[in-house]
Structure 1
Amino acid sequence: MKLANDKLGAFDPAIAVPAYDRAALSHGIVHVGLGNFHRAHQAVYLDDLFALGLDHDWALTGAGVRAPDANMRQMLGDQDNLSTVIELDPEGARARVIGAMIDFAEVAPGNAPLIAKMAEEATRIVSLTVTEGGYFVSADTGTFDPTHPDIVADAATPEAPKTVFGAIVAALKARRAAGVPPFTVMSCDNLPGNGDVTRDAVVGFAQLIDLDLADWIEGQVAFPNGMVDRITPATGETERTLAASMGIDDPVPVTCEPFRQWVLEDKFTLGRPRLEEVGVTFTDDVHAYERMKIRILNGGHAVIAYPGALLGCELAHDAMAHPLVHAFFRKVEAEEILPHVHAVPEFTPDQYLELIDARFSNPAIKDTTRRLCLDGSNRQPKFIVPSIRDGLAAGVSINGLALLSALWCRYCIGQIEDGSEIAPNDPSWDRLTTTAARAKDTPMAWLDMRDVYGDLATVPAFAERFASWLGLIWAQGTEAALNAYLKEQ
């Protein structure tokens, strides 16, 4: 049965449906980036909150700035903006229908409908999931890059921007002109200091077109830092078939693990929903949670993904079940990542690692190593390189992380060890494959990618270990390299 407001009562009682009157909801949040993670995370928290009878004036309006977002708008609109979320517990899958989103702004060139919606007085939060690579961060400076071609193009036509940051600045400009207070801009992406990074992008773009506006934004707009967490695989035929087996006809169902976490700074310009009532942690120490999650979980994904993929493991839990990959994961985490992570009230680093081990090993998730290998050129500098730099500064081992970099390089040649082709899996795939081929004979060609590694090619303690591991991988294979690392004291 297709999702629709008037059919919710007809679904199997085992499927949870909105326990509130959706007609009574009113708009409060524009969310840009209606991918799986948002619909399994922020939208679920709001659905839980609305079910308590609270804050029905904080409903979501979806939005996007890319042409493909129009397809998502069409599919969700055809089902009254309802979403299926299926929690994949080893004990059995549980489905629920999420009703927190009530509209989806038209996706159009120049983003006029999105800008108009953000400019409405009822919009009090604009939230984002635009991927780690969507913030125009310069690898050289670690801050917003005003010379990026997309930003330069938007600055030339600020009334018809193509980027989300151009659209946000246009909406804030309209609100200022109308005497309407600014909304909060809340990133929900996996970035260290995601609120600070977002502020840099918004203010940095505004400085290109209107210095007074930029000063107003910097002084008046809140950009809370936050940490988000829920493993959410990509949707394909398997997920659609699972939804259908439960009696749900949904072309874009979301599957996810049962665990979820959201930690936020309590900094909001025009108020916020009472999310603490549904498990969100508000704290001034977001960065400790963020470091723990990004280093141990996101970094850990890379640690299992590249060796797992090269050895033919298609699923994450299969990689965790591979003795060498699992042992590599545990040793790198314990010796090279955990020493640079601090405890939070809920977990010590060791306790968090045990949780992550169990989550990665969940056979119900069916997360793919391909998804975890995706976009390494943006993820490695954020999830792995910081641990390398901390290890070098502290004088502790970075040997396993050097091996991981070599495994990523080997993966980017475009073939796994049985000769099977790897389909393009990075926005910079052509550059990566070309560089990986050169690195086979000249390892430093890989480390010379300054947007990923900065100056690490000039640091012998790392560069020499990387070159040694890459040579061993090409000479004897991934298993031999993993065995060699695991035997080292």
Structure 2
Amino acid sequence: MSQSLNLANLANLPSAIARPNYAREALRPGILHIGVGNFHRAHQAVYLDDLFNAGKDHDWALIGAGIRSGDRAMRQALEPQDWLTTVVELEPGVDVARVTGSMVGFVPVGEDGRAIVDALDGPGLRIVSLTVTEGGYCIDPATGAFNPEHPDIVHDAAHMDAPRGVFGVLLAALRRRRDGGLAPFTVMSCDNIPHNGQVARDAVAGLADLVDPALAAFVREQVAFPNSMVDRITPATTDRERAILSERFGIQDNWPVFCEPFRQWVLEDNFPTGRPALEEVGVTFTPHVAAFELMKLRILNGGHAAIAYPAGLLGIHFVHDAMADPLVSGFLDRLETEEIIPHVPPVPGVDLQDYYRLIASRFANPGVGDTIPRLAQDGSNRQPKFILPSTRDRLKAGADVTGLALESALWCRYCAGTTDAGEPFTLDDPNAARLTPAALAAKDDPSAFLALRDIFGDIADASLFRSRFETALKSLWRDGTRATLQRYLNADG
């Protein structure tokens, strides 16, 4: 019989389940995390749990926070289990479960962020960390620059007493701390965005520019925004995972996390008010975060995009099944080897080909159960960050972009909302309302999709890219995904 997860039942869990060896009541919060999703609980929360289990830094526990409906649902799921989470690492034949206890509370989620601002009005919380997705940073996807006309920014600039966006919340909390004579907290982004610390800084300071120039100067001069690179494949939780946890491990968890064994965290050491000793549990502190970050964004995240759209068009649901398809995995391999990796700068201590082989093996792990719909979502935010920078680099170098243009064409065809077999699906993208009409128009006029200038930017003006994109898209509509991929793989390099 399975046991409900909570502090009272920890001792009753099966002996094979690892659990906190520290006293939860002795922990003191030092980090407030905004955006408590699966990735955070499989990544930052696990590193901190490791540190606490080692008897270190018990004043750096986590407090969860959020302002979206999904944050409210997460809080409701975790509260009855005393903020504990079951993390299951999946590998063929070797599944390992543990219960983490590094989160000790969760700020009530309201219609705005005033409760978070109140929670940050004290010296104990010295770091605010973020996982608010690539699309949550109020940036122009074509340029990567802060967008002062984003609806959340416009609203919060006029309503700093009740901000509804994450950066309005951060700015309101920083202003209150400044006015109260408290040192500012460090803002630590853990999202997959190039130079994520700088992007977060631009968003907070950019909003401050609209509110108070003196406050903007304070943010730029006094607040630390370290860059980071984070990595762990963490699928969404469904009833499938809950059932597996109950049947195989004897635990009833409202929102367990299933993930791969691999994890990585690279950080700049820029924490003026202190930080936990995360280097003792495997975190890499280095001034070269940008090199690690670009490697991961181009090779791993770009690789996810490369398999997502052909697999989605072929009706493949799981990532490991996509990797078992020789056309999909062959496309990934050729694209990475010939067009992506050659334009990734060297990374200290890393062989890029070895890194790619590790990535491919992680994608192929059948135990994780990662899904193609998860990889395919939010393409309008992810393409400009993960794929189009490689395209731009090759165009500047005078190199061909056949594979990268094909990837963009596959995304365009996917945005039309049907598989090759004609099965409709819902496009999971905040810009779906304009992507799908543009993709359907592109069936007859490929330039209709490239006219999305906020996504493609100046790449849409490159004649070589336009030609390769048009050829690929026409082939996808005329001959289908399999024939188009086969033609690409058969072509001479």
TM-score tier (shorter): over 0.9
Give me the whole-angstrom Cα distance separating, in 2, the residues matched to 1:348 and 1:342: 11
Q: Distance in 2 between matches of 1:189 and 1:122?
A: 24
Q: TM-score, normalised by structure 1?
A: 0.99
Q: Report the equivalent of 1:288.
A: 291
Cα distance in 2 for residues equivalent to 1:461 and 1:255:
43
- The 2-side partners of 1:141 and 1:94 are apart by 42
Contact 1:125–1:184 (Cα < 8 Å) also in 2: yes
1:12-31 equivalences in 2 (<5 Å): 12-31=14-33
For the residue of structure 1 that corresponds to 2:356, the secondary structure is helix
For residue 447 of structure 2, the aligned residue among 444, 462, 469 is 444
Counterpart of 1:143?
A: 145
- The 2-side partners of 1:248 and 1:140 are apart by 46
Aligned counterpart in structure 2 of residue 398 of structure 1, from 392, 396, 401: 401
CA distance in 1: counterparts of 2:252 and 2:488, whole angstroms: 48
Match of 2:426 in 1: 423
**1:486 paired to 2:489:** yes
Aligned equivalents of 2:217, 2:337: Cα separation in 1: 45
2:191 maps to a residue whose letter is: D
Partner in structure 1 of residue 270 of structure 2: 267
The superposition leaves residues 137-176 of structure 1 with CA deviations (integer Å, 9 ceiling, x where unpaired) of 0135421111112211111111100001001000001101
Quote the Cα distance in structure 2 between the aligned partners of 1:313 and 1:200.
Answer: 39
Maintained 8 Å contact 2:142/2:384: no
Which of the residues 113, 116, 129 maps onto 2:118? 116
Displacement of 1:198: 0.3
State whether structure 2 residue 199 is matched by structure 1 residue 197.
Answer: yes
* Partner Cα distance (1:291, 1:150) in 2: 28
Q: Per the alignment, in what secondary structure is the counterpart of residue 222 of structure 1?
A: coil
State yes or no: 1:207 paired with 2:209: yes
Match status 1:228 vs 2:227: no
Match of 2:54 in 1: 52
Q: Return the alpha-carbon distance in structure 2 between the equivalents of residues 468 and 25 of structure 1.
A: 60
Check whether the contact 1:336–1:391 (CA below 8 A) recurs between aligned residues: yes
1:269, distance to aligned residue in structure 2 (A)? 2.2
Q: In structure 2, what is the Cα distance between the partners aligned to 1:2 and 1:365?
A: 23
Equivalent residue letter for 1:93: D
Is 1:459 the counterpart of 2:471? The answer is no
Q: Deviations over 1:284-331 (max 9, x none)?
A: 000110011110000000111111111121110111110111111100
Q: Is the Cα contact below 8 Å between 1:139 and 1:450 reproduced in 2?
A: no
| Contact 1:110/1:159 (<8 A) preserved | no
Letter in 1 for 2:105: D
Q: 1:163 aligns with which of 162, 165, 175?
A: 165
Aligned ranges 1:293-332 → 2 under 5 Å = 293-332=296-335
Separation in structure 2 between the aligned mates of residue 431 and residue 461 of structure 1, nearest angstrom: 25
Q: Which residue matches 1:73?
A: 75
SS of the aligned residue for 2:95 comes to strand
Give the superposition deviation at 1:457. 1.8
Equivalent position SS for 1:109: coil
Q: CA deviation at 1:46?
A: 0.2
| Conserved 8 A contact 2:417-2:425 | yes
* Residues in 1 aligned to 2:318 and 2:271: alpha-carbon distance in whole angstroms: 39
Give the Å deviation of 1:345. Answer: 3.4
C-alpha displacement at 1:276, in angstroms?
0.1
Q: Show structure 2 runs of 5+ residues with no match.
A: none
1:350, distance to aligned residue in structure 2 (A): 0.4
2:177 aligned partner: 175
1:105 aligns with 2:130: no
- Structure 1 distance, partners of 2:461, 2:282, is 45
Q: In structure 2, what is the equivalent of residue 336 of structure 1?
A: 339
Equivalent position SS for 1:78? helix
Conserved 8 A contact 2:228-2:289:
yes
Which one-letter code corresponds to 1:220 in the other structure?
Q
Q: Is the 8 A contact 2:446 2:473 kept in 1?
A: yes
Q: Which amino acid aligns with 2:40?
A: H
Aligned identity (percent) is: 56
Quick check: 1:233–1:255 contact (8 Å CA) kept in 2? yes
Of 33, 37, 40 in structure 2, the residue corresponding to residue 38 of structure 1 is 40
* Distance apart, 1:347 and its partner CA: 2.0
Q: Distance in 1 between matches of 2:139 and 2:6?
A: 41
AA aligned to 1:115 is: V
Matches of 1:140 and 1:428 in 2, distance apart? 14
Q: 1:435 aligns with which of 424, 435, 438?
A: 438
Residue type at the aligned position of 1:302: A
Task: Report the AA paired with residue 209 of structure 1.
Answer: V
The answer to whether the 8 A contact 1:158-1:166 is kept is: yes
Residue deviations 1:360-401 (CA, integer Å, cap 9, x gap) = 010111111111001000000000000000111112231101
* Runs of 4+ that moved beyond 6 A: none
* Structure 1 unpaired stretches of 5+: none
The answer for the alignment partner of 2:4 in structure 1 is: 2
Two-structure CA RMSD over aligned residues (Å): 1.0
Counterpart-to-counterpart distance in 1, 2:239 and 2:20: 26
1:110-149: per-residue Cα shift (whole Å, max 9, x none)? 3221101122211100000000000000135421111112
Provide the secondary structure at the position in 2 that maps to 1:54. Answer: coil
Distance in 1 (CA, whole Å) between partners of 2:204 and 2:60 is: 23
The TM-score, its normalising length taken from structure 2, stands at 0.98
Q: Distance in 1 between matches of 2:255 and 2:200?
A: 28
Q: Which moved more, 1:462-471 or 1:108-117?
A: 108-117
